[in-house]
Amino acid sequence: MVPQDLDKQIKEIIARVIELDAGEITPDADFINDLGVDSLKAIEITGAIEKAFRVVVPEEKIRDIRTLNQAVSLTKQLLEAKG
């Protein structure tokens, strides 16, 4: 089941991991190019999302998680696939 506030939850997870204020994370801001985040943080973000929503992110998708929108979209797909 996809939570109604999935965007908000993911934003808060990302903000906590990358240690930025949630307000600075706009939907299409690129973590690396716009927010100055190390590319390895994508692994940590992925792990945090997996634990929060009990999903498994395919490894080949990890480096695709570059924006909030991409993180939300992928998480939604995985939750919908779970049923």
Partner 1 sequence: MKVIWDKEKVKSILPQREPFLFVDEVIELEEGKRIVARKYLDPELDFFKGHFPGNPVMPGVLTIEAMAQAGILVYVTARPKIVEQNPTYYFGSVNAKFRSPAHPGETLILEAEIFKVANFGGVVDTKARVGDRMVAEARSIFAIKVDPDSNRDFAK
Q: What is the CA radius of gyration of the chain?
A: 12
For 13, residues 6+ apart whose C-beta sits below 8 A from its C-beta are 45, 48, 49, 52
Q: Assess 16 for contact with partner 1 (CB under 8 A).
A: no
Q: How far is the CB of 54 from partner 1 (least distance, A)?
A: 14
Q: Assess 20 for contact with partner 1 (CB under 8 A).
A: no
Q: Assess 46 for contact with partner 1 (CB under 8 A).
A: yes
Q: How far is the CB of 68 from partner 1 (least distance, A)?
A: 19
Cα separation values, 66 from 4, 44, 63, 82, Å: 22, 12, 7, 23
Could you list the residues that contact partner 1 (CB under 8 A)?
38, 40-41, 43-44, 46-47, 50, 59, 62-63
